[in-house]
Structure 1
Amino acid sequence: MKVKKRRKLLLAVVIGVIILVAAIPPIVLAVSKAFTAQESVVRTDWEIETGDIIGQDEQWQVEYAEAELGDGLRAIQLIPEDIGEEGFTYYDLEVQRRLEGALESMKATNDMTWTATTPLAVLNPYGTGSNGLYLYFETDVPTKVSYNIHVAVDGISDFTADAADASGEEYSKIHEFQIIGLVPGETNEVTLTMTGSWGNVRQIVRFTVDMPENRSDYDTRLEVTQGTSDQAQAEGLFTMMRVNGYLGYGFFFDNDGVMRYEMVLEGFGLDRILFEDGEMLTCVSSSKLARINGLGQVTGVYPLDGYELHHDIGFGADGEVLALAEHAEGETVEDQLLSIDLESGEVTNLLDFSQLMQPYFDQTRPVSPTDDFFWQAGEWDWIHLNSLLYLPEEDSLIVSSRETSTIIKVTDLHGDAAVDWLAGDARFWQDTEYADLCLTQEGDFVPQYGQHCVEYLRDGEEDGIYYLALYNNNYWSLNSRDFEMSVADSVGVDLYGDGSERSQVYIYRIDENQRTFALEQSFDVPYSSIVSNGSLCGDNWVVNSGVAMVFGEYDADGTLIREYAYECTMQNYRTFKYEMTDLWFQ
């Protein structure tokens, strides 16, 4: 009797194990999909805290509320009456038109004279930057406006800038601009200085702003570590892009690691900011690009119906932006190139890499739950394009493919597109139809693996020679093809590593005449198996190691000037440094 019970118990255990094993793939798939799906989530809650409602503009369907900025400055907030309705977004040109109309009504108020001492002040007028403060006033003579922001907290240096006026003029009698740099959660002492064209100071105005906490609740001060280089840091603001755990925001930090601007998006995160005619162009959700001026006003919206963005955007031919994307319901992921016409808004699928490189695509398979990138289980991530670079003179495209650890050049992009060359470990391509297209490695060095953010650095000494910069993750992992290849001991093979691995910034010399590539310069940076970038800013390098959760500024030789540690869930995608001139600053 006991033997039968034991047999039944053993049978039940075996059946249970079988059921559990069978359930693991669906569980892994469900968890992985939930993790990756967060990038497609669109913000549904736009409502903000304000003071009392003090008025209403029925024509523009906007309410005026007091902005709770303390007693030093009387400011308002513009609240669209439909802000709580389903489907509302600030990234809607009709909403932006109404906000502009309400703002114009305030500027034209008959019984008010807006001066530097009594300016029209509006907190975050267009809903795109939580701590941006709009000012409008007139002066008797043409002047330019500079401002200084002082916060009486150790470790926060004064922030000084020349305001970029909405008129585009350096000197004006009518002033309309956005103060950038007010630190969330702190009392900010602001000094406005109006200077005439002969350099004489015409007026100085001071006021305080008790800035509310930032909307994301992200740290407003990063941990800063001083490096060994005494090189001066480049001008500009570090721009953290797609911070996991804080998607739907873009964060801008100064050289002291102090948050100076919090950009509020629909979702997803910034991939890159493009600048044109005094405006920025960037992604504001996984399926939408937007053009935004220096006041925070959205002046153009480009929905990508049926597609989802990932990893990079860049200027293409005249009037065109190129974007890496994927079909929202497609079989494959991260293998499409879109063309967006900035005038018409028309979106064209310019290049499907699964067709362009079909002979190789046919050798691949979807990611499985037992692969390194198990969170992508079920996705056919066979090439994983993560950066693009357009060469207008020859209508060519250079893309970075993380999955193949290869840089790929495509010629005649807008015509009969074809793969021109591949740069990376040639062994990877030896049993494919692309073996003869591999550039020959010139010199003894370990080629890049899992690289990100390939950028054009400079022209070479003759036509056909040029230099590319990239972040070499130095991480080897293949999740879409049953192929094994040994790599050097210095190359990481674990997502988080054991502490001995290093990533690098690489500078390649590409010689298309001789069909070679060589390592011109490199320097070590903290290890990051995925994401990340190393980008030139002036004479310095700005490097983000996303998995290590640090970014730093390095001198031209690759010696650290300063490093900044930050919090996120698993990774922050990129950190660039932008001067923001002609947009926020003169």
Structure 2
Amino acid sequence: MPRWTALSLGTVLFLSGCAGGDATDAGGEDRGTAASSRVSEAPVPDDMTVSVGTVADADATIHTVGVSRDGSDERASAYDLGVQTAVDRALGELAEQGTGPEDPLMVLNPYGTNTTGLYTRFATSGDGRLEYTVTSDGHEDFTRTAKDHDADPAVFETQIVGLVPGTENTLTTTWHPEDGDAVERTVTLTAPASRAGYSTHMDRDLRGDPEQLTDGMYLLSGAYHARPYGFLFDNAGSMRAELPLDGHMLDRFETYRDTLVYPVDERTLARVNGVGRVVDTYDLGRYEMHHDFTLTEDDRALILASDTSRDSVEDVLISLDLTTGEHREVVDFADLLAGYRDLTNPYEAPGSDGTIIDDWLHLNSVDHHAGEDSVIVSGRENSTIIKVGDVHGEPRVEYLIGTDELWEGSGHEDDLLRKVGDFSDTGGQHTVIRHDDAEPEDGRYHLSIFDNSYWSVLSREDYTGPAPRDASTVSGTAEDENSFVRTYLVDENERTYSQVDAVDVPYSSIVSSAQQRDGNTVVNSGQAFELSERDPEDRVIATYSYEGERYMYRGVKYAFDDFWYDA
């Protein structure tokens, strides 16, 4: 673990004056990331203290920037925009140290959003590209081309992502100017240990050609024992980034105007740019996010949530305007499915000390179709896939896919699509995603689904009807049970659905995910603690075993091209 050496630069640093330049309003065009225009309009609180130090376990000068409040030794939240302004000003004071690629300014995780991210800035004589390789004992080399986040050709600014936590890393950077000779530099440093105490290695079982694995890193999020962190692992199974949050799990990443959008606590979404700076946050008021969100093509986020002003949970959809920060409830499923809602009952939460919850639907996945302004959501509690049309207008149920008998007496019997073929319906499914063909046929498309194949309808104590044929009542994981990745063909014209594929995967009664990516499928069985990537013929290329307690909610993959890495 590195030792931090404080530099005596004053009690409160860089809190008067600024680096210059103006920032745009919150939610508008991205704020600049150059030192000359990085400062936001968020005020710096009077009780905020900024300290600058260096990493002791390094053979070159690598700075640190720490921000605390109220005299606390604890680092202030990265998602306080005042903290970000304070860091901006500290970096502005340090910027002159980055005289060139042979002597860049390097600061470890200044913005507090990636515990091993290395902010890097230096002056240049023109355009060029920065390639880097991270070498660490026990880990494969990690090589990328960094993206420049400063529009000024006389400055290169980036975040180097790829240091392994708690390990001695040798970082070799090579600057390739458009004109002139390459400049190579090597620095060795021990990165801080995982703040969550999480293992930096997944055990990989390679069953195919590693070249078949898609480019990118796997995001593991929602670990039961390390919930407020997201972990990024490369194809070899090495941790390359740790993203701390403020209490919520990292449901997913979405990209918006050169930033990543993701939840940081139950009521806050944040936008973070490529150098790690939080450029905006969105407060959702009385709504608490739950499990999933997505972005629309017209600058809005659609978010599954609970309305904390009422007893029922996980049964509303809210819409957040990313340009204004305003949000509103667009679908109240308790109202939309009122006939079914009347058939349900509150129940004791499993594993609790007698806590009664009204979790009659338990939404866990949302997918938006822009052309129709429709969403497809997954209800875990009643094992039903629900399509809702005209989300931002007059929402309506367009169809249901689920166990017919469960919906008897609800008034929604006519909304159920007719099954064509002999196959099991889903049980407690997750991540229902719509896929339209390259040349789509109106009303026909595929759904990919992680089918947990677990049947537990605690909110229907009176239900005595059948369960899906393949569904288990075993809670947790079991070697003699299976979950499935299913693919359905939906025909809205004929109001039918059929199964075109079903692949056995390790059993997980709750959580988990399936993601289609560049022809491959990334599957996370969250209670079996196994992640896998499979080729287009459903053959396993590699499986990864990771540590956990109870579950890991989601495992998906992102390339980060044109964000951290040059496209």
Same fold (TM over 0.5): yes
Distance 2:93 2:190 in 1: 26
Match of 1:118 among 103, 121, 129: 103
Change in CA separation of 1:195 and 1:87 when aligned onto 2, cut-off 3 Å? closer
Change in CA separation of 1:584 and 1:83 when aligned onto 2, cut-off 3 Å? farther
Preserved CA contact (<8 Å) 1:400 1:407: yes
Distance 1:116 1:472 in 2: 50
Q: Tell me, what secondary structure is at the counterpart of 2:92?
A: helix
Which whole-Å deviations, capped at 9, do the CAs of 1:159-183 have from their partners, x for residues lacking one?
00010111268xx441110110011
Greater helix fraction, Structure 1 or Structure 2: 1
Q: Tell me, what secondary structure is at the counterpart of 1:238?
A: strand
Match of 1:262 in 2: 242
Match of 2:517 among 514, 525, 537: 537
Match of 2:4 among 30, 50, 54: 50
Distance 2:451 2:480 in 1: 16
Mapped pair 1:452 → 2:412 = no
Aligned ranges for residues 332-481 of structure 1 at < 5 Å? Answer: 332-368=312-348, 377-459=355-437, 461-481=440-460
Q: Which residue identity does 1:51 align to in structure 2?
A: T
Match of 2:188 among 208, 217, 236: 208
Q: Which residue identity does 2:140 align to in structure 1?
A: S
Mapped pair 1:59 → 2:15 = yes
Match of 2:77 in 1: 89
Q: Tell me, what secondary structure is at the counterpart of 2:9?
A: strand
Preserved CA contact (<8 Å) 2:452 2:509: yes
Which whole-Å deviations, capped at 9, do the CAs of 1:298-353 have from their partners, x for residues lacking one?
00100112121111010135111010010234200000111111111112111111
Distance 1:58 1:168 in 2: 24
Distance 2:98 2:418 in 1: 70
Change in CA separation of 1:317 and 1:540 when aligned onto 2, cut-off 3 Å? closer
Mapped pair 1:245 → 2:225 = yes
Distance 1:148 1:336 in 2: 45
Q: Tell me, what secondary structure is at the counterpart of 1:114?
A: coil
Which whole-Å deviations, capped at 9, do the CAs of 1:244-294 have from their partners, x for residues lacking one?
100211100001110000001111210011012221000011111000001
Deviation at 1:526, TM superposition (A): 0.5
Match of 2:89 in 1: 101
Change in CA separation of 1:576 and 1:376 when aligned onto 2, cut-off 3 Å? farther
CA RMSD of aligned residues (A): 2.1
Change in CA separation of 1:263 and 1:69 when aligned onto 2, cut-off 3 Å? farther
Which whole-Å deviations, capped at 9, do the CAs of 1:358-406 have from their partners, x for residues lacking one?
111111110136xx67678411000111011111111111111111111
Preserved CA contact (<8 Å) 2:425 2:469: no
Match of 1:12 in 2: none
Which whole-Å deviations, capped at 9, do the CAs of 1:503-553 have from their partners, x for residues lacking one?
111111110000001111121111011111110121211111011111111
Match of 2:203 in 1: 223
Preserved CA contact (<8 Å) 1:504 1:522: yes
Preserved CA contact (<8 Å) 1:62 1:99: no
Gaps of 5+ in 2: 17-47
Match of 1:504 in 2: 484
Distance 1:352 1:322 in 2: 13
Q: Which moved more, 1:134-143 or 1:334-343?
A: 134-143
Match of 1:158 among 125, 138, 141: 141
Q: Which residue identity does 1:118 align to in structure 2?
A: D
Which whole-Å deviations, capped at 9, do the CAs of 1:446-501 have from their partners, x for residues lacking one?
11111001112233751111111110111111010120233355321111354211
Distance 2:512 2:51 in 1: 42
Match of 2:542 among 549, 562, 574: 562
Deviation at 1:230, TM superposition (A): 6.5
Match of 1:186 in 2: 167
Preserved CA contact (<8 Å) 1:315 1:322: yes
Match of 2:474 in 1: 494
- Max Rg structure: 1
Q: Which moved more, 1:562-571 or 1:482-491?
A: 482-491
Change in CA separation of 1:254 and 1:326 when aligned onto 2, cut-off 3 Å? same
Deviation at 1:84, TM superposition (A): 5.1
TM-score, normalised by the number of residues in structure 2: 0.89
Q: Tell me, what secondary structure is at the counterpart of 1:394?
A: coil
Change in CA separation of 1:52 and 1:400 when aligned onto 2, cut-off 3 Å? same
Distance 2:385 2:469 in 1: 22
Change in CA separation of 1:149 and 1:356 when aligned onto 2, cut-off 3 Å? same
Change in CA separation of 1:462 and 1:489 when aligned onto 2, cut-off 3 Å? closer
Change in CA separation of 1:535 and 1:87 when aligned onto 2, cut-off 3 Å? same
Match of 2:61 among 74, 80, 87: 74
Distance 2:262 2:337 in 1: 29
Q: Tell me, what secondary structure is at the counterpart of 1:144?
A: strand
Deviation at 1:75, TM superposition (A): 1.2
Preserved CA contact (<8 Å) 2:340 2:407: no
Preserved CA contact (<8 Å) 1:69 1:212: no
TM-score, normalised by the number of residues in structure 1: 0.86
Distance 1:248 1:124 in 2: 17
Match of 2:25 in 1: none
What's the % identity of the aligned pairs? Answer: 34
Change in CA separation of 1:113 and 1:455 when aligned onto 2, cut-off 3 Å? closer
Q: Which residue identity does 2:174 align to in structure 1?
A: T
Q: Which residue identity does 1:125 align to in structure 2?
A: P
Distance 1:357 1:373 in 2: 28
Which whole-Å deviations, capped at 9, do the CAs of 1:208-256 have from their partners, x for residues lacking one?
1221212111100112222356661000010011111002111000011
Q: How many residue pairs end up in the alignment?
A: 529
Distance 1:49 1:346 in 2: 44
Q: Tell me, what secondary structure is at the counterpart of 1:150?
A: strand
Q: Which residue identity does 2:5 align to in structure 1?
A: G
Preserved CA contact (<8 Å) 1:195 1:203: yes
Distance 2:418 2:230 in 1: 40
